[in-house]
Amino acid sequence: MVRCFSLILVAVFIKVQLCLQSSCAGKQEPASQEGAAGCGCDKLRRAAAGSEDPEERASSEAAVKYTAAGNEATSEMVFIPGGEFLMGTDNPGIPQDGEGPQRPVHVDSFYMDVLEVTNQQFQSFIEATGYVTEAEKFGNSFVFEGILSEAVKSQITQAVAAAPWWLPVKGANWKHPEGQDSNITDRLDHPVVHVSWADAVAFCSWANKRLPTEAEWEYACRGGLRDRLYPWGNKLNPKGQHYANLWQGDFPVHNSGEDGYVKTSPVKSFPANAFGLHDTVGNVWEWTSDWWTVHHTTDKQHNPTGPPSGQDKVKKGGSYMCHKSYCYRYRCAARSQNTPDSSASNLGFRCVSQKKQ
Ligand SMILES: *[C@@H]1O[C@H](CO)[C@@H](O)[C@H](O)[C@H]1NC(C)=O
Ligand SMILES: [Ca+2]
Ligand SMILES: [Ca+2]
């Protein structure tokens, strides 16, 4: 199995310049397997990851401090009627991600947030609890180079070697998505970003909810459709309309913003699927509760929860940075992974619960 690269420190100034001028863009096309897997979304990991078990840390913090839910602050939920579906695909867009084989899975009914958790909602959680996110504790987070100010870029001396467009930015966190000179004042209705897996678990616990399993997330994404690529069917842009906030143009140098957005979009900017869920695919990646594996049984599964342990957590749905040429992961069966302490400018979450909140 291909393990992820660790964060290799390089002199990025030169690297980014090179990247912008030619080499990276050239490498991205055509859509070879390598190119398709090369978005770098899974390459983000902190240089000095803590050894604590994030699951334990998240659940104990959540249990002790954050049991009082502020329900008005959290999203409207929709009932997802349980049933059996075909999880994964036998025609994987990115085989090494473990998208296949297609397999029968039953999930029980549950409720799911209609929308990705927003900055406004996350702010209510912080105000109510005093919670400090991992990005704030670490003092930095990963930001896509293309959305940074020149002032911030000029201070950065490191990058992710395998994906030089990801820069660890000092002071970047949920309140300052592109570093210290940015804020969320004009994007309270955008999805919160720079939240680690434990941060997401803490928020959901506070709201008396939890993260979805990968199976629940994928079942919900499919909206009752069988064996389709997207939450709305097989055509990316039916009738010329955009159904998700993705990337149009050439990655990583030019985002044409044809769908209306070059960064995150306000939640609900694109149509809902048949279950009433918006932005499952696109806008921001969404954490799930499962540990990552690329090996799946074809035996019928009942409410699967993934491997008992692991190093990375599964994230689903792709983001505003996804383009077919290098990150064809804006499909319900697609998946990627990050270490649980990772946070980035295109990674958020939504919650589920067994009971109506
Ligand atoms: C937030 O950012 C906007 C635009 O980027 C800026 O005009 C505004 O002054 C900032 N607000 C604060 C409180 O820093
Ligand atoms: Ca877009
Ligand atoms: Ca999403």
Could you tell me the two tokens for 202?
């803490």
Cβ 185 under 6 angstroms from ligand 1: yes
131-180 pLDDT, tens digit each: 999 999 999 999 999 999 999 999 888 888 888 899 999 999 999 999 99
Q: Assign 3-class secondary structure to the chain.
A: CCCCCCCCCCCHHHHHHHHHHCHHHHHHCCCCHHHHCCCCCCCCCCCCCCCCCHHHHHHHHHHHHCCCCCHHHCCCEEEECCEEEEECCCCCCCHHHCCCCCEEEEECCEEEECCCCEHHHHHHHHHHHCCCCHHHHHCEEEEEHHHCCHHHHCCCCCCECCECCEEEEECCECCEECECCCCCHHHCCCECCCCCHHHHHHHHHHCCCECCCHHHHHHHHHCCCCCCCECCECCCCHHHCCCCCCCCEECCCEECCCCCCCCCCCCCCCCCCCCCCCCCCCCCEEEEEEECCCCCCCCCEECCCCCCCCCCEEEECCCCCCCCCCCCCCCCCCCEEECCCCCECCEECCCEECCCC
Q: Is the pLDDT of residue 61 over 70?
A: no
Burial class of residue 162 in the structure, from the number of CB atoms within 10 Å of its CB (0-12 exposed, 13-18 middle, 19+ buried): middle
Please state the rounded mean pLDDT for residues 300-317: 98
> Left (φ > 0), alpha (ψ -120 to 50) or beta: where does 193 sit?
beta
Q: 288 and 212 in contact (C-beta within 8 Å)?
A: yes
Q: How confident is the model at residue 43 (pLDDT cuts 50, 70, 90)?
A: confident
177 Cα: distance to centroid of ligand 3 (angstroms): 17
Residues in the chain: 357
Could you tell me the two tokens for 275?
């279950």
Burial class of residue 57 in the structure, from the number of CB atoms within 10 Å of its CB (0-12 exposed, 13-18 middle, 19+ buried): middle
Beta carbons within 8 Å of 23's beta carbon, 6+ residues apart: none
Distance in angstroms between the alpha carbons of the first and the last residue of the chain = 40
**Proximal ligand: closest to the CA of 263:** 2
Cβ 183 under 6 angstroms from ligand 1: yes
Cβ 149 under 6 angstroms from ligand 1: no
**Proximal ligand: closest to the CA of 184:** 1
Could you tell me the two tokens for 337?
């992974």
Cβ 256 under 6 angstroms from ligand 1: no
147 Cα: distance to centroid of ligand 2 (angstroms): 12
Residue 190 or residue 72, greater confidence: 190
Q: Which of 242, 232, 326, 336 is nearest to 284 (CA)?
A: 336
235-248 pLDDT, tens digit each: 999 999 999 999 99
Ligand 1, atom 14, residue with closest C-alpha: 183
Beta carbons within 8 Å of 60's beta carbon, 6+ residues apart: none
75-97 pLDDT, tens digit each: 899 999 999 999 999 999 999 99
Q: 230 and 236 in contact (C-beta within 8 Å)?
A: yes
State the residue for tokens 């079942």: 219
pTM of the model: 0.85
357 Cα: distance to centroid of ligand 1 (angstroms): 34
Q: What is the mean pLDDT of the chain?
A: 85
**Proximal ligand: closest to the CA of 212:** 3
